[in-house]
Amino acid sequence: MLLYFHYYRIMESKNAVTALSALAQETRLAIFRLLVVQGPSGVSAGEIGASLKLAPATLSFHLKELTHAGLIEARAESRYIFYSANFEQMNALVGFLTENCCAQDGVSCAPGAVCAPKAAAAPKAAAVAKAAAVAKAAAVAKLRRKGVRA
């Protein structure tokens, strides 16, 4: 029975290691957090690069790594590619990390709620989220120029 559960759980250890490895790099973590703030509507590659002040080749490399880990998804619209966080994969990773939380104490402290954003965010909410992401990116850039790691 235990082997069956281990083999068929939502996320395997190998997938968790891949996702955590992708997020263990400062630029990729910043990209992923920006996409989480943006929500399911996503943001174009150009806007990501502008917000985080990344060269196109550098951005492309990091987006490829996050996509390979299953943490983000890309969709083409006209001439642009929009990226969004894969909330299902993000929740699976959080669930994997907390699935046996406090089990030795005989209690379950794993979070019951998962992050499930609405598919169609209100325009005002999207604008506020975008402004917050841009402001955060600017603050991080300012700290980087001062030599402080954010």
Q: What is the pLDDT of residues 62-116, one digit of tens each?
A: 999 999 999 999 999 999 999 999 999 999 998 888 887 777 777 666 555 456 6
Quick check: is 46 in a domain? yes
Residue 124, pLDDT above cutoff 50: yes
Q: Indicate the number of domains in the chain.
A: 1
Quick check: is 41 in a domain? yes
Question: pLDDT band at 119, cuts 50/70/90?
Answer: low
Q: What is the pLDDT of residues 126-144, one digit of tens each?
A: 655 666 676 677 777 777 7
Quick check: is 104 in a domain? no
| pTM tops 0.75, yes or no | no
CB of 94 closer than 8 Å to CB of 56: no
User: Cα separation of 126 and 136, whole Å?
Assistant: 15
Over the chain, what is the mean pLDDT? 82
Domain range for 41 is: 10-99+117-145
Question: pLDDT band at 7, cuts 50/70/90?
Answer: very low
More confident residue, 95 or 23: 23
Quick check: is 130 in a domain? yes
Mean pLDDT of 3-29: 80
Quick check: is 75 in a domain? yes
Residue 17, pLDDT above cutoff 90: yes
Q: Where would I find the H helices in the chain? A: 2-8, 13-23, 26-38, 45-52, 56-68, 87-98, 123-145
CATH value at residue 59: 1.10.10.10
Quick check: is 38 in a domain? yes
Quick check: is 49 in a domain? yes
- Reference 23, options 83, 94, 81; nearest CA is 94
Quick check: is 48 in a domain? yes
User: Is 33 buried (19+), middle (13-18) or exposed (0-12) by CB count in 10 A?
Assistant: middle
